[in-house]
Structure 1
Amino acid sequence: MAAPPLGKLSRQAFDALIAPHLGAARPGQVLVGPRHGVDVAILRTAPGQVMAVTADPLSLIPELGVEASAWLSAQLLASDVATSGLEPAFAVVDYNLPPQMDDETLARYQQALHRALADLGVAVAGGHTGRYPGCDYTIIGAGVMMATGPEDRWVCSATARPGDACVVTKGAAVAATGILARVFPETARRVLGDEGAREAAAVFGQFGVVKEARLAAALGVRGGGVSAMHDATEGGVLGAIAEMAEASGLGAVVEREAIPVSPVTRELCRAFFGMDPYTALGEGALVLAVDPARAAELQTRLGAAGIRAAIVGRFEAPEHGRWVVEPDGRKTLLAPPAADPYWAAYARARESGWR
């Protein structure tokens, strides 16, 4: 029997293995529970008040280094919870450390995580730390992050509306570009030249969508503003749009050519075995469903903050289906990819001895 694919579970696996077994029901308290393609849970904590909660692995990727890995872990957690439109506030950190990870490395990691969380305004409220056999890099534990706020101020990836404009920040394959250029610097220089390799490596600093999520929430949420947000992760930008449409029960139409792809990203993806940038690891890009009358205003606000944003399509009533308009005018099905091509490309490059 073939090994299960790496990365996030498919919707089919999630629905079969996880969704039927979720403990006690809490009707009226769990407003948004575990669902494929939804970044956050929304819990009613008191009349008129909610908490947004998310969880993600904590990683230490040796090739990236201790400090960069800790910063990345904080950004990924905060990005998910910020898609609620609420301010990230609290974190719980669970370290399940490899036995060979020494105290000095742990101290460096924790200090870097502390700095990143402090910059985000997030307090560590609790957690657990231990070393255990069977644990190894690159995953050294997990984190939970929370945000609180008024019940009429939250959104999620399941709250898009028919007619909303689909807006994407930054572009395709942000994470794939930044990580590959850092983990395989010699390959990046060979493919892109020195200047291009530096540009691609600098994309790593674009991880995280807290800044644009805050600006979007300031425009207004729900009626007349931003109705949904989703952090592009595994499956890339197209996967995130498909997940948002699916979670919201909507159709969608996306213009492939409208999705920004930087020249260094395109060249790097081509070199890494023809990896598709539109479905490759996309952390750093935020997908938004926005009132079409306010989409240009959102672009202007983001642009003033140095964040590129493109209107790439729109969400439709479900009977319209979900489609990608190709450059030649053909329509192809918009659906989450069976597997993110990044994982296979990364593994093949490592096996081939690329540096």
Structure 2
Amino acid sequence: MKSGKLPSDVLEKRILSSFRFKRKEVLVRSKVGEDCSVLDFGEYACVVSTDPITGASNEIGRLAVHISCNDVAANGVEPFGLLFTILAPEGTTLEVLQDIVRQAAEEAASLKVEIIGGHTEITPAVNRIVVSTTAIGRAAKDRVVTSSGAKPGDYIILTKWVGLEGTAIIAHDFEKRLRGRMDDALLESAQAMMGHISVVKEGMIAGKMGATALHDVTEGGVLGALWELAEASGVGLRIYEDKIPVRPETRTICEEFGLNPLKLISSGCMLITCRDGQGMLEALNREGIPASIIGEVVEEGRTLVSGEREEPIDPPESDELYKVQ
């Protein structure tokens, strides 16, 4: 099988279908397009999500904190606790482990999230460091937003810029190759995009502003995330390619490696569906978060409009990042 997430149909038919036992306390369970489980804790709902870092070599402590916290934030819920697991190959130095933990501690503190536990192990089972995190959040039950609430007539908003995480990862991991092939200032700007990976702030804003659905853009890029959101909600989409923001840093790096920026891992971007598109944009912009209306939710059909050409938005395949690993 190819590197990356399992294809959605394989995940649904071969993996999720095996989980037959259900408990009444589980309000939102495993489903294609839903990144979090939501549990009934009486007065409150507990929101939980887990994710590994497998596509990066540098800054993995920082990335690991944000990817799971972003999933919780994509339910309109503030994360407060994090379980942090490191599996490292034999020969890994203590200094390397300490650097990963230092990164994680700094990023978690910046989000006001406590690292509440985890596991650290040296093992021959891996040939590179793998970090996996589980984030936990809490909210009133009626304040939780899922990926499955989009309705026809909703505006579709994208925060920040596509390919954000992939651009930052490639700029760090392939710095030597890129030096001399792109302007130094542009390369440094691409590396600095690592500082925009969190979507916790926009998740809180969107939840308060009445978002109907939220989904953070990770493996498979914006096109993959759009398909997942539509699949979870049982709706169609009409997306306008010329409205999708792509930074010059991302275009340059994607051209160098032959990648499609619309299919490149994009943690740091969030998809928001809502009835009041302009009001949502203004609320995000007031907090310094760039955002764009890129399309609308429709009854059926998932379409990318590129000038006079229209093409279907298909289920996500292996992320473009794996082409350069």
Give yes or no for TM over 0.5: yes
Q: Which of 44, 49, 57 is the equivalent residue of 2:44?
A: 49
- Residue 16 (structure 2) pairs with residue 19 (structure 1): yes
> What letter matches 2:8 in structure 1?
R
Instruction: Show the counterpart of 1:88.
Output: 79
Residues paired across the two proteins, number: 325
After superposition, the C-alpha distances for 1:191-246 in whole angstroms (9 at most, x for unaligned) are 32122212222222211211211222232xxxxx2111111011111111111011
Change (3 A) 1:108 1:263: closer
Distance 1:61 1:338 in 2: 18
The answer on whether the counterparts of 1:322 and 1:334 sit within 8 Å (CA) in structure 2 is yes
Find the residue that maps to 2:212 and give its secondary structure.
Answer: strand
Instruction: Show the counterpart of 1:241.
Output: 226
After superposition, the C-alpha distances for 1:61-116 in whole angstroms (9 at most, x for unaligned) are 54x2xxx2211110111111110111101122233332222333223322321221
Instruction: Show the counterpart of 2:314.
Output: 335
Identity of aligned residues (%): 30
> What letter matches 1:287 in structure 2?
L
Q: Which of 102, 107, 111 is the equivalent residue of 2:98?
A: 107
Find the residue that maps to 1:20 and give its secondary structure.
Answer: helix
- Residue 23 (structure 2) pairs with residue 30 (structure 1): no
Shift in Å, 1:59: 5.8
Shift in Å, 1:134: 1.7
The answer on whether the counterparts of 1:189 and 1:196 sit within 8 Å (CA) in structure 2 is no
Instruction: Show the counterpart of 2:306.
Output: 326
Find the residue that maps to 1:148 and give its secondary structure.
Answer: strand
Find the residue that maps to 2:6 and give its secondary structure.
Answer: coil
> What letter matches 2:32 in structure 1?
H
Shift in Å, 1:60: 9.4
- Residue 3 (structure 2) pairs with residue 6 (structure 1): yes
The answer on whether the counterparts of 2:216 and 2:269 sit within 8 Å (CA) in structure 1 is yes
- Residue 186 (structure 2) pairs with residue 206 (structure 1): no
Q: Which of 170, 186, 203 is the equivalent residue of 2:176?
A: 186
Change (3 A) 1:136 1:60: farther
Instruction: Show the counterpart of 2:109.
Output: 118
Distance 2:88 2:5 in 1: 22
The answer on whether the counterparts of 1:60 and 1:138 sit within 8 Å (CA) in structure 2 is no
Change (3 A) 1:159 1:181: same
Q: List, as ranges, runs of 4+ consecutive aligned residues in structure 1 with deviation greater than 6 Å.
A: none
- Residue 88 (structure 2) pairs with residue 97 (structure 1): yes
Find the residue that maps to 1:257 and give its secondary structure.
Answer: helix
Q: Which of 237, 256, 269 is the equivalent residue of 1:252?
A: 237
Structure 2 alignment gaps of length 5 or more = none
165-174 or 118-127: which moved more? 118-127
Shift in Å, 1:58: 4.7
Structure 1 alignment gaps of length 5 or more = 220-224, 348-355
Distance 2:20 2:86 in 1: 24
- Residue 282 (structure 2) pairs with residue 300 (structure 1): yes
After superposition, the C-alpha distances for 1:148-207 in whole angstroms (9 at most, x for unaligned) are 111100011112122110000112111121111121223333332122212222222211
Instruction: Show the counterpart of 2:257.
Output: 272
Find the residue that maps to 1:175 and give its secondary structure.
Answer: helix
The answer on whether the counterparts of 1:61 and 1:137 sit within 8 Å (CA) in structure 2 is no
Structure 1 residues 68-83: aligned runs within 5 Å: 68-83=59-74
Q: Which of 195, 205, 228 is the equivalent residue of 2:213?
A: 228
Q: CA RMSD in A?
A: 1.8
> What letter matches 1:43 in structure 2?
L
TM-score (norm 2): 0.94
Find the residue that maps to 2:295 and give its secondary structure.
Answer: strand
